């Protein structure tokens, strides 16, 4: 465990590594963390605990940003190692991820809760042995008429359609803003500000 006198927040964007997955629906967490990193001047240029990471400071709080490279279904392995290394309890971990049950571009923040069927979140809960981290959920919608689990897998691993791109770009920007609000004003204020806003 790394010792530090500064309080630390661990901010995780979920996705799959590799160019073939970069623009897929499942990788919107990666895209948000990259947007937030640019906004805060943090470079995701360090390999640590099976993740690409970067760190910086915001108002006396150390921020550790990470994109796990374990593939989505094993995200918890990296998150747990990072949490242990930096001594971060679950309540100081923020996870950004896609959500099938929200309409495209909708953002919802939540403290704790279940998995919602998301295998990356399932892995994190299992490895931390706790659901008590903050989630920033970004809606990707569902396929119109899914006939099987295979359809869902194909859907989340598909790219956004060109006509969806403006909505997705705005959602990424707003999710990055929501992270700033979370850090500056706390979860309740961030939820009040962003959970009631409909998708653009």
- Annotated catalytic sites, by residue? 26
Return d(Cα 32, Cα 96) in angstroms, integer: 7
Return d(Cα 14, Cα 93) in angstroms, integer: 13
Return d(Cα 117, Cα 138) in angstroms, integer: 14
Return d(Cα 50, Cα 55) in angstroms, integer: 15
Which residues, in sequence order, are CB contacts of 68 under 8 Å at separation 6+? Answer: 12, 14, 50, 51, 74, 75, 77, 78, 79
Return d(Cα 56, Cα 38) in angstroms, integer: 12
3-class SS shares of the chain: helix, strand, coil, % to 5: 45, 20, 35
Return d(Cα 91, Cα 200) in angstroms, integer: 30
Q: Which two tokens stand for residue 163?
A: 């006509």
Q: How many CB atoms lie within 10 A of CB 144?
A: 7
């Amino acid at each position: 465990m790394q010792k530090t006198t500064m309080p630390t927040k661990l901010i995780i964007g979920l996705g799959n590594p590799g160019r073939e997955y970069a623009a897929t629906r499942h990788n919107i967490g990666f895209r948000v963390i990259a947007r937030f990193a640019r906004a805060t001047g943090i470079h995701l240029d360090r390999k640590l605990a099976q993740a690409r990471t970067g760190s910086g400071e915001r108002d006396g709080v150390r921020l550790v940003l990470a994109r796990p490279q374990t593939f989505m279904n094993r995200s918890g392995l990296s998150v747990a190692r990072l949490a242990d290394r930096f001594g971060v309890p679950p309540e100081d971990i923020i996870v950004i991820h896609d959500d099938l049950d929200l309409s495209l571009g909708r953002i919802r923040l939540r403290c704790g809760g279940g998995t919602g069927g998301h295998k990356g979140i399932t892995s994190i809960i299992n490895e931390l042995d706790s659901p008590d981290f903050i989630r920033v959920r970004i809606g990707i919608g569902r396929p119109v008429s899914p006939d099987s689990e295979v359809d869902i897998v194909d859907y989340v691993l598909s790219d956004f359609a060109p006509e969806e791109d403006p909505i997705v770009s705005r959602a990424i920007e707003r999710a990055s803003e929501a992270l700033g609000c979370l850090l500056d004003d706390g979860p309740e204020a961030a939820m009040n500000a962003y959970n009631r806003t409909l998708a653009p």
